[in-house]
Amino acid sequence: MVKKKAYVVLIIILGVFIYLLWSFFRTSYQIQQSVHNMDLRYQQPSANQQHIVLISQELDNPYWRSIEKGARNAADKWGMQMEYIGPIRINPDEQIRYLEKAIASKVDGIIVQGSRDPKLLSLLTKAKQKHIPILTIDTDAPNSERLAYVGTDNFTSGKLLGEYVANRMSGKGTIGVIMGSRSADNHKLRVKGFLESIKSYPKLSVKSVEESNISQIQASQMAEKMMRTYPDINVMVGTSALDGLGIIQAAENIGRESIHIYGFDNLKETKQAIQTGKMEATLEQEPAMMGYKSVQLLHQFFTGHSVKTQYFTPIDVLDEEDVK
């Protein structure tokens, strides 16, 4: 009788496992299909209405949604039709495909994250030949055919955060860095600026640098691994919006709540973490302003005005004094 009951329980557990596995693969398949089938389904713009496209790095990332909000406000102000598209998860090749489609669709203007990828640089040249202005946002594509760059001066932002950390730590400490992406120029520049800044402090050193792939879960995993591997680390720094939050999770998981944590961006959760003392400070960017200014520059271009080729949006360090 006991064996029979155990057998029934085993069958039930197996059935639940198979169902969950099936649900997972079905959801994954649906996501993949939506990614591959997603296309530019534009409404027909009215006469004299410019049609622009904003291509994000990751569609629902809070940082990129802030950029979208600013861009939409500007598009509404100047009577433009704006499409917001991008990969569900970070995928540079998919970004390239969206850019190809936008150019082929003969839109009036495009805003896209820049990079040094030869495919992207080639498409920027192609767009210029077709008289489609492209602005790079968040990350530049220097020495390319883009019309202008709008976003943070990433090297300077890294230096500013490094100087703040050095002063806050009185020039002493062992640092672990979680960078959003090793392949993205903006994150490489932030780390480069940070390292440049702390060179002046011989008792302040970086023990390890790891990548989060701009994922809070991966940031937590890499931070936990780093803190376990190097127990002398007493400062952690993240270079993307989700890195700091992931580091907080890692510190709580292993009972290292006393570690000094610094992040990037001013998400609601980041501000709350500063208020509660879980994070000491964050480098504040202005993503909504980036979106707004990009559309404004396109409007200037469309109306025959000159456009400067580089526009750096404001940055500042946000700490407990700013979130009271």
Q: Could you please report the per-residue DSSP string of 223-269? A: HHHHHHH-TT--EEEESSTTHHHHHHHHHHHTT-TTSEEEEES--HH
Query: Average pLDDT over the chain, rounded to whole?
Result: 89
pLDDT tens for 93-132 read 999 999 999 999 999 999 999 999 999 999 999 999 999 9
Q: Enumerate the H helices of 254-321 as residue ranges.
A: 268-275, 287-302
pLDDT tens for 24-81 read 555 444 444 444 444 444 445 555 789 999 999 999 999 999 999 999 999 999 999 9
Q: Look at residue 39 in the predicted model and tell me its pLDDT.
A: 45
**DSSP code of residue 144:** S
CATH of 154-284, one of 3.40.50.2300, 3.60.15.10, 3.40.50.10420, 3.30.420.60: 3.40.50.2300
Q: Taking 90 as the threshold, does the pLDDT of residue 290 lie above it?
A: yes
Per DSSP, the three-state class of 291 is: helix
Q: In the sheet where 51-55 sits, what is the strand order?
A: 81-85, 51-55, 109-113, 134-137, 148-151, 310-312
Distance CA 133, CA 114 (A): 14
pLDDT tens for 225-284 read 999 999 999 999 999 999 999 999 999 999 998 999 999 998 999 999 999 999 999 999
Q: Enumerate the H helices of 38-87 as residue ranges.
A: 62-77
What do you get for the CA distance between the two ends of the chain, in Å?
65
Mean pLDDT along residues 6-23: 59
Q: Which pLDDT band holds residue 321 (cuts at 50, 70, 90)?
A: very high
Q: Taking 80 as the threshold, does the pLDDT of residue 223 lie above it?
A: yes
Query: Is 51-152+287-314 a domain of CATH 3.40.50.2300?
Result: yes
Q: Look at residue 324 in the predicted model and tell me its pLDDT.
A: 80
Distance CA 80, CA 50 (A): 5
Half-sphere exposure of 93 (CA within 13 A, CB side): 2
82, 103, 106, 128, 213 from 49: Cα distances, Å: 10, 17, 14, 20, 38
Question: What residue ranges do the domains of the chain occupy?
Answer: 51-152+287-314, 154-284
Report helix, strand and coil shares of the chain as percent, to nearest 5: 50, 20, 35
